[in-house]
Amino acid sequence: MFAQELLGPGAAVDPGSSGPGTVLAPISGTVVSLHPHAFVVQGEGLAVLVHAGIDTVTCKGEGFTTLVTAGEEVSGGDPVLTWMPADVTARGLSTVCPVVVLEGQAEEVGVLTGAGGVVRAGEPLLRVVPGGV
């Protein structure tokens, strides 16, 4: 689903598998969907899905803790959930985290990366420009 951009374009972040992880809201808006391993924030004019790991729905919430509730307003950079990437790796699953602009158009979404491809908390990951980047 993610690789074929069936939900929309985006990027993937690899947090590695050491220590606990905190997943942050990608944009300001309302948490419209919340699962232990994934969430959607609806902002002004767009919605963004963040999925902690690949196939982590199979963990059935084990190792994940939500820090907000569905319907709650968040600001970009607010903590939304915590997880243990090492536990995901131990299950044979990937810790790569897709960040998807739902129903976005590929030509409207550009990936921004820091030095060496490293993205730090609080730094922009994607740029969305209606009509094209």
Q: How far, CA to CA in Å, does 125 sit from each of 112, 114, 122?
A: 5, 9, 9
The residue to which tokens 């069936």 are assigned: 6
The residue among 31 and 3 whose pLDDT is bigger is 31
Closest CA to 14 of 75, 73, 93: 93
Q: Which residue segments constitute the domains of the chain, with CATH numbers given? A: 10-106 (2.70.70.10)
Q: Decide if 37 is catalytic.
A: no
Q: Is 111 exposed, middle or buried (0-12, 13-18, 19+ CB in 10 A)?
A: middle
Model confidence at 3, pLDDT cuts 50, 70, 90, reads: low
How many Cβ atoms are within 10 Å of 20's Cβ, its own excluded? 12
Element (H, E) at 85: helix 85-90
Sheet containing 38-42: give its strands across.
10-13, 97-101, 47-51, 38-42, 29-35, 73-74
Q: Provide the pLDDT for residue 59.
A: 95
Lowest-confidence pick of 1-5, 14-18, 39-43: 1-5
Catalytic residue among 10, 34, 39, 51, which? 51
User: Could you say which DSSP state residue 113 is in?
Assistant: -
**26-51 per-position pLDDT tens digit:** 999 999 999 999 999 999 989 999 99
Lowest-confidence pick of 11-15, 55-59, 95-99: 11-15
What's the whole-number mean pLDDT along residues 94-123? 81
